[in-house]
């Protein structure tokens, strides 16, 4: 599995390796380093098709996929039963924080305490242990929030720390499941940019069902 920590290493201060130290002597490269933000969250309503096809693909070995893409649907329900829905996506950059954390920091502060919220995440990979801990703490203190997380892949699922974190999510009331082919199609239709004046049908990759069953079995073993 590709590790989110791989990108974290790329975000460390420039002085920590020889190559970056050399960059400090080059005025143009130094300017690039200064202008590169240590943390950035990309937001929007629809993500580029090539990002979806690469980042969300439910492969077993996710080499090169060191970002997290999170598509969300927020349903706010008033006491009168009226429901308002909103959606969008978050993409983490430079790995100083992850998309899950960004949702709580940038989207959730707009929530009205008087309303009930049902939130659905469609995430390229399952949360790391740190993000899972943040989710648990948020659910424990936010009684008007219900969260469903659908993931394309399991992140570092063989690690005991990650397995324990996923079980804590379940104990906190978070529903966690692996995306079925129909879920990928839903993302394609609702969160992926389409050609202007044209809606292209979702084309499943060859092993989409096989990989779904593989990850579904792994998650069931972890959560039992």
Q: Does domain 40-194+202-223 have CATH number 3.30.70.890?
A: no
The parts of the chain modelled with pLDDT lower than 70 are 1-45, 62-66, 93-96, 195-199
Question: Residue 17 has what pLDDT?
Answer: 35
H-assigned helices in 37-159: 49-55, 99-102, 129-141
From the list 91, 93, 100, 101, the catalytic residue is: 100
Find the largest Cα–Cα distance for the chain: 64
Let me know if 185 is a catalytic residue: no
- List CB contacts of 150: < 8 A, sequence separation 6 or more: 120, 121, 122, 123, 177, 178, 179, 183
Q: pLDDT value at position 50?
A: 79
Q: Which helix (H) or strand (E) holds 171?
A: helix 160-171
CA nearest neighbour of 190 among 60, 56, 59: 56
Alpha carbon 42 to chain centroid distance? 12
List beta partners, residue 177: 150
Q: What is the pLDDT of residue 35?
A: 39
CA dihedral of residues 211, 212, 214, 220 (deg, nearest 10): 160
CA distance 117 to 105: 16
Tell me, what's the pLDDT at 102? Answer: 87
Q: Model-level pTM?
A: 0.76
| DSSP state for residue 47 in the 8-state scheme | B
């Amino acid at each position: 599995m590709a590790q989110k920590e791989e990108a974290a290493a790329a975000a460390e201060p420039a002085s920590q390796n020889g190559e970056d130290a050399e960059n400090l002597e080059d005025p143009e490269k130094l300017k690039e380093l200064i202008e590169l933000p240590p943390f950035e969250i990309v937001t929007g309503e629809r993500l580029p098709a090539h990002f979806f096809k690469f980042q969300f693909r439910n492969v077993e070995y996710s080499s090169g996929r060191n970002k997290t893409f999170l598509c969300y649907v927020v349903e706010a329900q008033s006491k009168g039963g009226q429901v308002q829905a909103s959606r969008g996506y978050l993409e983490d950059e430079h790995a100083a924080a992850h998309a899950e954390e960004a949702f709580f920091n940038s989207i959730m502060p707009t929530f009205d305490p008087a309303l009930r919220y049902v939130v659905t995440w469609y995430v390229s990979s399952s949360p790391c242990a740190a993000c899972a801990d943040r989710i648990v703490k948020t659910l424990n203190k936010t009684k008007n929030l219900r969260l469903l997380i659908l993931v394309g892949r399991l992140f570092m699922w063989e690690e005991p720390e990650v397995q324990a974190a996923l079980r804590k999510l379940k104990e906190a009331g978070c529903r966690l499941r692996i995306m079925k082919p129909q879920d990928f199609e839903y993302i394609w239709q609702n969160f992926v940019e389409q050609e202007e004046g044209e809606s292209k049908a979702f084309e499943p990759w060859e092993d989409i069902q096989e990989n779904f069953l593989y990850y579904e079995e792994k998650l069931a073993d972890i959560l039992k």
